[in-house]
Amino acid sequence: MAHVAVNAIVGENLLVERRVTSLSTLLQDLGLTENQSRLEALGFKLSEGGAHISRTIMLKEISRLLASTGAAARIEDYSRAVINDNVLGKATETTRQKTFRHLRELYALSPGVPIFSLYRELMRTDPQSGSLFSLLTAWTRDSLLRATTPAVLNATVGDRVTGDDFQQALTKTYPHQYSAKNIGKIARNAASSWTQSGHLTGRTKKTRSRVQPRPAAATFALILGYVTGLAGEQLFSSIWCRLLDLNPTEARSVAEQAHRQELLTLRALGPVVEITFLRFQRFLKGL
């Protein structure tokens, strides 16, 4: 009996080690292993798990919730709106509670979490970019969604992106944590999220599409890159710009548009580029 118990403990420890290694590898591949404390201070979640075990990025729900609450709303106000006032039109109180919990996991819903305040302000500034703002915010807070990134970014526009592609990406990051049934569920939810953001099209057969980010969406991506610790030209090559389907040349071009719209300040002297975000600096204090 003792021998079995020791083997069980050793096996469990190896399992945990494999999980940590694969998750760390993903974060390294995405360029997110530096300045983790700054990312977490912003509202980034580096831990395992996430809402995509049972939900998508819930674009309709978060958009309706923000539209029905004021800019100064606190987390208690969002809770009251979803659970008590049922602004999202859910049939039962249990469903309303679950909806609120998942929205909080994805978006924080607290003015005390900088990324949510920044997200809310950008949604007010450019509602047309809501799908990309939501994808970027949920991506920072849900490791399950992040794990599916290679299935999307590695596909060429026009390619089919299948459930198997998502499942393979998830299994690579979490080789021993989730059952085949749960991997399939996460894959379907993630496929729906990437469809809501515009990266995929099609109801059942998903095809890779190219998103067309507006200057406000590019500003959000550049801010996230800045918090990651990047500066100057490096910002145009970050994972955040890649999530918007922007190569470095395109990212700089859209950043120049954002500068003209006074969303950021871009100064260039020869090869030296400096980008600052005075308009949104109040959300970045201490970062």
Give percent above pLDDT 90 in the chain: 79
* Contacts of residue 240, Cβ cutoff 8 Å, sequence gap at least 6: 136, 220, 221, 222, 224, 225, 228
CA distance 255 to 276: 11
Contact 245, 211 (CB under 8 A): yes
pLDDT category at 21 given cuts 50, 70, 90 is: very low
Regarding whether 235 and 170 lie in a shared domain, the answer is no
Predicted confidence at residue 270, as pLDDT, reads 78
Q: What is the CATH number of the domain that holds 151?
A: 1.10.3540
Closest among 135, 157, 156 to 146, alpha carbons compared: 135
Regarding whether 193 and 227 lie in a shared domain, the answer is no
From 180, 195, 211, give the residue that closes a domain.
211
From 211, 226, 243, give the residue that closes a domain.
211
Helices 59-67, 93-107: inter-axial angle, 10-degree rounding: 90
Lowest model confidence (mean pLDDT) among 41-45, 132-136, 182-186, 210-214:
41-45
Domain that holds residue 94: 1-211
Query: Averaged over 226-240, what is the pLDDT?
Result: 93
Predicted confidence at residue 144, as pLDDT, reads 96
Q: What is the DSSP letter of 1?
A: -
Regarding whether 18 and 116 lie in a shared domain, the answer is yes
Regarding whether 201 and 252 lie in a shared domain, the answer is no
Contact 256, 266 (CB under 8 A): yes
pTM over 0.85: yes
Give percent above pLDDT 70 in the chain: 88
Closest among 95, 88, 85 to 65, alpha carbons compared: 88
* Tokens standing for residue 275: 């980008």
Predicted confidence at residue 29, as pLDDT, reads 63
Is the model's pLDDT at 39 over the cut of 90? no
Regarding whether 229 and 186 lie in a shared domain, the answer is no
* Contacts of residue 266, Cβ cutoff 8 Å, sequence gap at least 6: 255, 256, 258, 259, 273, 274, 275
* Tokens standing for residue 261: 């719209």
The radius of gyration of the chain from alpha carbons, rounded to an integer in Å, stands at 20
Closest among 235, 272, 282 to 255, alpha carbons compared: 235
Is the model's pLDDT at 259 over the cut of 50? yes
CA distance 22 to 19: 5
Predicted confidence at residue 25, as pLDDT, reads 67
Strands 206-208 and 265-269: unpaired
Lowest model confidence (mean pLDDT) among 31-40, 155-164, 275-284:
31-40
* Tokens standing for residue 154: 């590695």
Regarding whether 224 and 205 lie in a shared domain, the answer is no
Is the model's pLDDT at 187 over the cut of 60? yes
| φ, ψ at 66 (rounded to 5°) | -65, -35
Total domain count, the chain:
2
Query: Averaged over 100-115, what is the pLDDT?
Result: 97
* Contacts of residue 170, Cβ cutoff 8 Å, sequence gap at least 6: 144, 147, 148, 178, 183, 186, 187, 190
Regarding whether 198 and 161 lie in a shared domain, the answer is yes
Is the model's pLDDT at 3 over the cut of 70? no
Is the model's pLDDT at 203 over the cut of 80? yes
Residue 35, number of CB atoms within 10 A of its CB: 16
Regarding whether 253 and 133 lie in a shared domain, the answer is no
Predicted confidence at residue 24, as pLDDT, reads 62
Regarding whether 244 and 226 lie in a shared domain, the answer is yes
Provide the sign of the torsion angle of the four alpha carbons 144, 149, 152, 155, taken in this order.
Answer: negative
Query: Averaged over 118-128, what is the pLDDT?
Result: 97
CA distance 273 to 287: 20
- The owner of tokens 């729906």 is 192
CA distance 88 to 74: 17
